[in-house]
Amino acid sequence: MTNNRQEYLISHIVDEMAAYLVSDFKLDIPSALNIIYTSDTYRILSDKMSDLYTQSPSYVYEWLKKEFLTGNLLNI
């Protein structure tokens, strides 16, 4: 997969996750993006060797939501 395609998929997942956070937790967009960009989920999503970016936005969001609620990705 090309680097541009990977970046597009990651960006799309981030957009969708932000929308989910806004909807589920009544956050504003900057707060939602801050949660995403400072999360371990995003760190793994951005690691192109992990292939997490090939999963659906809702699947990746479940990781993020559990990390947000528990404060720890390892509790997933």
* Model confidence pTM above 0.85: yes
CB 35 within 8 A of CB 27: yes
Instruction: Give per-residue pLDDT as tens, 14-43.
Output: 999 999 999 999 999 999 999 999 999 999
Average pLDDT of span 47-63: 95
Range of the domain at 28: 3-75
Domain count of the fold of the chain: 1
